[in-house]
Amino acid sequence: MDGILGTIGTAAAVFAGTNVDDIVVLTVLFLTSRAAGRPRPWQIVAGQYAGIAALAAVSAVAALGLTIVPDAWVGLLGLLPLGLGLWSLAGAVRATRAGEDSSPVVATGVLSVAGVTVANGADNISVYTPVFRTIGLASGLVTVAVFAVLTGLWCAAGSWLGSHRKVVAAVERSGHWFVPAVFIVIGALIVLESGVLGRLTGMG
What is the full per-residue pLDDT of the chain (204 aa) written as tens digits? 557 888 898 899 989 888 887 888 898 889 888 877 888 999 999 999 999 999 999 888 888 776 555 666 666 777 777 887 788 778 777 767 776 655 556 777 899 899 888 888 877 887 888 888 888 788 889 999 999 999 999 999 999 988 877 777 766 666 666 777 877 887 787 777 767 666 666 654
Alpha helices in 37-121 (DSSP H): 41-63, 79-97, 110-120
Q: 202 lies in a domain?
A: no
Domain that holds residue 93: 2-195
Q: Specify the pTM.
A: 0.76
Q: 135 lies in a domain?
A: yes
Give the separation between CA 147 and CA 142, rounded to whole angstroms. 9
The count of domains in the chain is: 1
Give the separation between CA 87 and CA 90, rounded to whole angstroms. 5
**CA distances, 18 to each of 12, 47, 117, 170, 197 (Å):** 10, 18, 12, 29, 23
